[in-house]
Every structure is written in structure tokens, then in C-alpha cells.
Amino acid sequence: MQPTQFMDAVKSVLARDKRFDIGAYYFLKDALDFTVKRAMDNNDGQHRHVTASELLHGFRDLAMQEFGPMATTMMSEWGVKDCTDIGNMVFALIEEGAFGKQDSDTPEDFANLFSLHDTLAAPFLPKKPATSAS
């Protein structure tokens, strides 16, 4: 998809649904590209469809890579609270023809797979000291 086509798709989504910031959609596109490349690297360079789980993990990993300890803040700024929100963005872009899907793909595939906030924050939280048994 050409960049202007993707931009038009995002503008169309935002015209009817303002829950998520424009930056979230562009980051989602980057996360999809990141995830597809990861899948290809693990599939002898062959392109294949990525699952909701793979995309969510790719989204999380790229967010941690790009934003580090600020990842939870960035998601909050963009209105992305959980995995279901990512699924909502994905399916809005599918409706616009910006993303593809298989017949078996559903928005429910994104529901509560993991706590987005917890997985983004956990690596950056201070470690709890070990307690000794008395």
C-alpha cells in the first residue's frame, strides 16, 4: 500500500472514530511491518499472514524498543489501553482496505491476550529485593 493510501485510510477512520490518536495508527503500521519481517525471518524469507497474537507481541516488542520506559506513557497519550484497542484499530484499517485479513480472523482474537500496560512497564520496574525466610 502506498503511503498516501494508508494516510487516506487513517483519515477516513479518524473521521468516524476519534478514540485513538493518529500516531497510534502509524505506529500500528510500523508494528505490522516489524512483525511481518520477524515472521519472514523465521520462515526462510517467505511472506505469510501473521496472527493477532504475533501482531500483539510485535506491537509490544517494537513499543519497548522504540519508547523504552516511556512506552506506557506513549500508549496512554494515543488512547491505547489494551490489546482490544489494537484489535479495534486493526479492524478499522481492514474495513478501509489498508490491512488484509483471513476469513478466520476476528476482533475477538485480540481480546485480553495479555495486559498491554503490565508487559510494557514490567521490564522497567525496580526489582523487588529477595526476602529471606526466617
Model confidence pLDDT, tens digit, residues 1-21: 566 899 999 999 999 999 999
Global pTM? 0.89
pLDDT at 134 (0 to 100): 55
pLDDT at 132 (0 to 100): 64
The position carrying cell 482496505 is 97
Model confidence pLDDT, tens digit, residues 87-110: 999 999 999 999 999 999 999 999
Q: Which helix (H) or strand (E) holds 14?
A: helix 3-16
Rounded to whole angstroms, the Cα distance separating 40 from 44 reads 6
Residue 22 Cα to chain centre, angstroms: 14
